[in-house]
């Protein structure tokens, strides 16, 4: 998957066509070209445990957008 070009770029509006978030639309936050994945704003949310640090002394859980396969999204024309 190293030198493959994708038609989906950062900032594009896309629609999720497969998976738990099927039917949702969102903006691409990042394209992970080497893995063939994208991160879409507001889709595929997961709760992650965070250890206490100086910036976050309480620790706890955060909701984070996880990458999904690029084949599961389709570009939406405006």
73 vs 5, more confident:
73
**CATH class of the structural domain 13-75:** mainly beta
CA contacts within 13 A on the Cβ side of 59 = 5
Residue 56 pLDDT: 86
Neighbours of 34 (CB within 10 A): 10
How far separated are the first and last CA of the chain, in Å rounded?
29
Evaluate if residue 16 carries a pLDDT over 70.
yes
Structure-block tokens of residue 21: 């978030």
């Amino acid at each position: 998957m190293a030198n493959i070009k994708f038609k989906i770029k950062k900032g594009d509006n896309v629609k999720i066509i497969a998976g738990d978030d099927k039917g949702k639309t969102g903006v691409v936050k990042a394209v992970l070209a080497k893995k063939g994945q994208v991160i879409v704003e507001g889709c595929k949310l997961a709760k992650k445990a965070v250890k206490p640090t100086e910036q976050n002394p309480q620790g706890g859980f955060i909701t984070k957008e996880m990458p999904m396969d690029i084949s599961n999204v389709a570009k939406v024309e405006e």
